[in-house]
Amino acid sequence: MAEPGPTRCGVVAVVGAPNAGKSTLVNQMVGAKVAIVTHKVQTTRTRLRGIFQEGAAQIILVDTPGIFAPRRKLDQAMVEAAWGGAEDADEIVLLVDAPRHAETDQGGKAGEDTARIIEGLKARGRTAVLALNKIDGMKREPLLELIAKFNETGAFSETFLISALTGEGVAEMRQYLVSRMPEGPWLYPEDQPADVTQRLLAAEVTREKLILRLHDELPYAATVETETWKDLKDGSARIEQTVFVERDSQKAIVLGKGGRTIKEIGSEARTELEELLGRKVHLFLFVKVREKWAEDPERFRMMGLEAPKG
């Protein structure tokens, strides 16, 4: 329940290079799984909103796609979605993979992406909260060096050392963010953990299982759409989804020998959906070839993205 007195409500955008751990952090702060998590970069493709309450404050967390140098139209749409989430937010958290950035002076590709984000913040006149993630087992000296290097940029209002996976340091950052939220009414019921349609959430769950099962054979070449959703009289749900790939050879990989692979993906997705929805799910998966789906603005709309500008 919201505490008596003035309530607070605001938006916090979580930005960072691909695979910095943004979805893991959002899930940790919300206390429930609202964003899919894999070890592959660019897993998050759209802006997902997680919601949590702390005392009299409600915070809407925006899990944004990783910000990187785009190549395809889908990449461009993802980056624009990330910046859109940041520009509309009351506070921005820049999540940094600390061990990766400590490996070399520049942090490699992740360092380039993070530097690009910092320049983007400056260009927009914004400061951010710096969250150095994955600090488990890191020594004090490299952490201090990272803190000094990042704070030299003048882009950060506060710095936290955290582990999004274990929750270390997250409570302190939550309290800080709560203190920064403006007064205002709550926008969501307190028992709602996310602002995402069930259709999109179901598609994201299946896409997560697809990535985890085929991450080597099929990187970034597939997407999932929920085509139909029917609530049945017995309280269960019948869900039909289509996995879109770009070539016939990719379709064969997704199907697997005798359809074994797609059956395993469907079984894993169904099990998780039943846990999330709290009811029985009948999940039916189909695989179709749609060439250059990653360049199709209609696919962006289905994923909750806007077509890239220009």
Q: Residue 230 belongs to a domain with what CATH number?
A: 3.30.300.20
In a domain, 186, yes or no: no
**Whether residues 82 and 120 fall in one domain:** yes
In a domain, 309, yes or no: no
Q: What's the domain count of the chain? A: 2
**Whether residues 203 and 73 fall in one domain:** no
In a domain, 307, yes or no: no
* pLDDT at position 82: 62
Q: Give the tens place of pLDDT for each residue, 87-135.
A: 778 999 999 999 988 875 555 676 888 888 898 889 889 999 999 999 9
Task: Give the structural domain span for 95.
Answer: 8-179
* Residue type for position 279: R
> Nearest CA to 224 among 306, 304, 303, 307?
303
| Predicted confidence band of residue 66 (pLDDT cuts 50, 70, 90) | low
* pLDDT at position 150: 94
Q: Residue 129 belongs to a domain with what CATH number?
A: 3.40.50.300
**Whether residues 174 and 202 fall in one domain:** no
**Whether residues 128 and 241 fall in one domain:** no
Edge-to-edge order in the sheet of strand 194-195: 156-161, 128-133, 91-97, 8-16, 57-63, 48-54, 194-195
In a domain, 74, yes or no: yes
| Predicted confidence band of residue 74 (pLDDT cuts 50, 70, 90) | low
* pLDDT at position 43: 44
In a domain, 217, yes or no: yes
**Whether residues 53 and 160 fall in one domain:** yes
> Nearest CA to 40 among 22, 23, 71, 18?
18
Calculate the average pLDDT of the chain.
Answer: 82
* pLDDT at position 38: 46
* Cβ contacts of 174 within 8 Å, gap of 6 or more: 29, 52, 54, 59
Domain end position, chosen among 179, 205, 225: 179
The pLDDT of 16-33, averaged and rounded, is 85
Distance CA 114, CA 128 (A): 12
**Whether residues 162 and 202 fall in one domain:** no
Query: CA triplet 36, 225, 21: central angle to 5 degrees?
Result: 15
**Whether residues 217 and 283 fall in one domain:** yes
Distance CA 138, CA 147 (A): 13
State yes or no: pLDDT of 146 exceeds 70.
Answer: yes
